[in-house]
Structure 1
Amino acid sequence: MSSASSLGMGLSALQAAQRGLEIAGQNISNVNTPGYTRQRIDQAAASSTDVPSMFGRIPAIGEGVVVLGTTRIQDQLLEVRAQQTRGAATAATQVANGYSMVESAFGEPGDTGLQAGMAEFWSTWGDLATDPESSAARTSVLEEGGRLASQFRELAGRLSTQWGGTREALSSSVDRVNRLAQDVGDLNDAIRASKVAGVNTSELEDRRGQLIGQLGDVVGAIAQPMEDGTMTLTVGGSVLVSGAHVSSLAVSGPSTGPGGASPVSVVWAASGTPATVGAGEIGGMLTTLDSTIPTVMSRLDAVAASLASTVNAQQAAGYDATGAAGAPFFAGTSAASLRLAPLTAAGVAASSAPPPASDGKNADGMSALSELQSGPDATYRDLVVSIGVQVQGASRRADVQTALAGQAESARLGVSSVSVDEEMVSLMGFQHAYEAAARFISAVDETLNTLMQMAR
């Protein structure tokens, strides 16, 4: 080994140690940077340039060290698992929030809920049964009936408002997905070009990783690394981003309320083909829009229809103050359309027989409707209990999914996040390597000086 090659070997060691110090310092300085992935220097022994001849052997040794570049420390299996569990947790949380909104709309138990309104309505009929000729009692029945119908309409309106708000949020989330996907496509293009030019792309990849994490939260996107450094993102098995190419999403279906000809769905904008979105915020919103709120509204409509038909049937079985058979008390067959029929106080059928009888038996029978096992009160109670059970179940599922996502994220960060202790040890190691390389160069320099003095 020549003196020049020895100095070159020492120089390469100095440069490698310096690069290692820089990488360790970079990791330490970004220990609190969101989305930062720790880096590691890749180095290898430089091979000898000597080529042995057929009949001779050259005791070739290495030429020092070569820095190959830097690597972001990641475990792709843990990355995918974290993306999947985060998407599932976000969807479960969104579904739980949807049920909580529905539960809050009912306000049960409480003095302003439908249960209290129906109880007050039946109570006025009981008061009328004790004094069937009282005009005030008849007026009270009409007022409570109108108030009860108004409560049904208001509750239906609150549910429709919640549906509309979720529908708007869905459109905003889809627009956000399209923007994030375009940003990922742009970064894919930049990273691929940088790798071809031999430029370090760690910071660009960290930025892309943050965007991919956001896409996982919003739409449940899964990333797969490609050989050219790009990331391919899929949603429900279909490609969202491939290289610089991006497929946009759009929202399809009714925008004014549930019950349209088709459910709300997310489709691929170019083809109109439905996209399979079962995770992320969007997956949870679709569940709320197409299942949670429409199901509750349908059951509430059934309660309103039961109330109208039951009361109207009992009203028709009695006689009003003029001796005519009772006319319909309620109009409408849904919670949103339930109204008090055009009826006067004299038209309330309190008696079971025409005048001169005024026994109040029909009013008493009306009051007893609250005890029917399959009547509107029982149907409404079943609905409220069902919502409460669903809220609890959805909350438990969200808690479980959130815990699983936390475990997966911890495992991922255990590999890719910066440990200050590890980096300090690495820093000390490269510092000692730098000092040793400097001493090696000094020793070679002293040897050269000694040889030159001996030659004089």
Structure 2
Amino acid sequence: MSGFSSLGLGARALSAAQRALDVTGQNISNANTAGYSRQRVEQVAAGGSVVPAMWSRSTTPADGVVVTGITRIRDEFAEARALSAQGGLSHLSAAKQTYADIESTFGEPSDSGLQAQLASFWGSWHDIANDPTSDAPRSQMLQQASALAGTFNQLSSRMGQQWHDSREQLVATVDDVNSMAADVARLNSAIRSAVTAGNPANELSDQRDAIVMQLGQAIGATASAGPDGVVNVNLGGSPLVTGDRTRELQVTGPTTHTQGASNELKLQWAADGSAAIGGGSVQGLLDAVNTTIPSYLTALDGIATTVVAAVNGQQAQGYDESDPTATAPNGQPLFAGTGAGDMTVVLTDPKGVAVSAAAPPAYDGDNAIAMGQRANDAGGADATYRSLMVQLGVQAQSINRQTDLQTSVASQLDDARTAASGVSLDEEMTNLVQYQHAYEAAAKFVTTIDSTLDTLINMTH
């Protein structure tokens, strides 16, 4: 090896050490940057000539070091597991929020909730039985009936608003998914161009993978590596992003919840209308609007119709004061409506309250007593409502436990992912010292060769 060749070798060593220092600085600078994957300089030794010659051979021992590239440090298996875990966590978190909102809507136990309103309504009939000829307890009962109907109306309205809000959130989330898918496709195109041209694309890949993680959280997407650094994103086995191409999703179905109608919302591919399989928070919201909220609305409607049927049926068995000569029960309906949303009080005259079980002039109050005892019906509104609240509590607790467990699993997997791709400042400081010494040694080597050459050039005989 000639002296001038040695200078080239030293220059390559200096360049490699400088490149390693730059990458170490990049890692340290982004130690707290979300989604950043630490990078590593890949170096290989450049060997001597291997070209055969007939009359000569190379005596060059080696040709220094060559930087072959900069690699992102990532554990693909840990990334895939973390992506799946985040999707499951988002699904459960959306379900948890749905049950929390339903619990907030019913607000039980409470002094002003439906259970308390039912108790006050039935209790007002016992007050009538204690003074069957007075209008005051009857008027009080009618006020309690109006309050009860108003509570049913309010609960139905709030549940309907929760359904609408969940639907709006679902549509907004799907729009975000389409936007993020387009961003992944755009970054895939840029990364492919960079890789094809031999340019680094690590930072672009970090941005893309962060968006892919968000897609996993939003809709349970999975990712697979493609050629030239691209990533393909799948949804339930169907492609969402393939290279720089995307498929758009849409939500179809009614915009308002209508009692007794089919209110199912569907997630579909916009191009052909075929069903798409979702996950993540999108699936949690689909479950909310298609199953969870409608089931409680239906149960609430059932309780309301039970109250209407029980009260009107008992009224029909008694006598009121509208006809002093009545010889058959003439009680008028107190409530009207087909569910909680349209339940109303239709009886406004206190004299229309069927207090007595016997024909006039006997106002014994026995029918009022029987009405008050409807609170204890085995399959009545009170028992059904209590059972519904127990069911709500059990389901909410179950979802909470599942969410806590999935949070722990997702956290562990995220820690494992970060351990592989995250920046350790202690490790980077060690690398910094190592590459600094390498640079100093290479500089000393160049200085020594330069001094040697200077001596050789200036030698005199």
TM-score (norm 2): 0.95
Cα shift readout 1:84-124 (whole Å, capped 9, x = no counterpart) = 11111111111001000000001111111001101110111
Deviation of residue 449 (structure 1)? 2.8
Deviation of residue 26 (structure 1)? 0.7
Count of residues paired in the alignment: 455
Alignment of 1:150-229 (within 5 A): 150-229=150-229
Cα shift readout 1:405-445 (whole Å, capped 9, x = no counterpart) = 11111110001111111001111111111111112222222
Ranges in structure 2 where 5+ consecutive residues have no aligned partner: none
Deviation of residue 454 (structure 1)? 4.0
Letter in 1 for 2:296: V
Contact 2:267 2:276 (C-alpha < 8 Å) held by counterparts: yes
Q: Provide the rounded CA distance (Å) in 2 between the counterparts of 1:294 and 1:396.
A: 23
Contact 2:95 2:285 (C-alpha < 8 Å) held by counterparts: yes
* Structure 1 position 271 matched with structure 2 position 276: no
Q: Provide the rounded CA distance (Å) in 2 between the counterparts of 1:51 and 1:138.
A: 112
Deviation of residue 452 (structure 1)? 3.0
Moved more, 308-317 or 337-346: 337-346
Deviation of residue 54 (structure 1)? 5.4
Q: Provide the rounded CA distance (Å) in 1 between the counterparts of 2:455 and 2:113.
A: 101
Alignment of 1:24-43 (within 5 A): 24-43=24-43
Q: 1:420 aligns with which of 393, 400, 425?
A: 425
Deviation of residue 56 (structure 1)? 5.9
Corresponding position of 1:404: 409
Contact 1:50 1:60 (C-alpha < 8 Å) held by counterparts: no
Contact 2:317 2:367 (C-alpha < 8 Å) held by counterparts: yes
Q: What is the DSSP-based 3-state SS (H/G/I as helix, E as strand, rest coil) of the residue aligned with 2:63?
A: coil
Corresponding position of 1:440: 445
Moved more, 193-202 or 360-369: 193-202
Contact 2:89 2:410 (C-alpha < 8 Å) held by counterparts: yes
Q: Provide the rounded CA distance (Å) in 1 between the counterparts of 2:382 and 2:221.
A: 45
Contact 2:257 2:263 (C-alpha < 8 Å) held by counterparts: no
Corresponding position of 1:257: 257
* Structure 1 position 298 matched with structure 2 position 303: no
Q: Provide the rounded CA distance (Å) in 2 between the counterparts of 1:347 and 1:59.
A: 119
1:60–1:260 Cα change, 3 Å: farther
Moved more, 43-52 or 416-425: 43-52
Letter in 1 for 2:44: A
Deviation of residue 455 (structure 1)? 5.8
Q: 2:376 aligns with which of 371, 385, 388?
A: 371
* Structure 1 position 285 matched with structure 2 position 277: no
Contact 1:266 1:277 (C-alpha < 8 Å) held by counterparts: yes
Letter in 2 for 1:397: Q
TM-score (norm 1): 0.96
Q: Provide the rounded CA distance (Å) in 2 between the counterparts of 1:219 and 1:246.
A: 15
Deviation of residue 227 (structure 1)? 2.0
Corresponding position of 2:242: 242
Corresponding position of 1:328: 333
RMSD (Å) for aligned C-alpha atoms? 1.5
Corresponding position of 2:388: 383
Deviation of residue 447 (structure 1)? 2.6
Corresponding position of 2:367: 362
Corresponding position of 1:20: 20
Ranges in structure 1 where 5+ consecutive residues have no aligned partner: none
Cα shift readout 1:44-74 (whole Å, capped 9, x = no counterpart) = 1113235123576544422111111101110
Contact 1:304 1:335 (C-alpha < 8 Å) held by counterparts: yes
Letter in 2 for 1:244: D
Q: Percent identity?
A: 45
Contact 2:160 2:257 (C-alpha < 8 Å) held by counterparts: yes
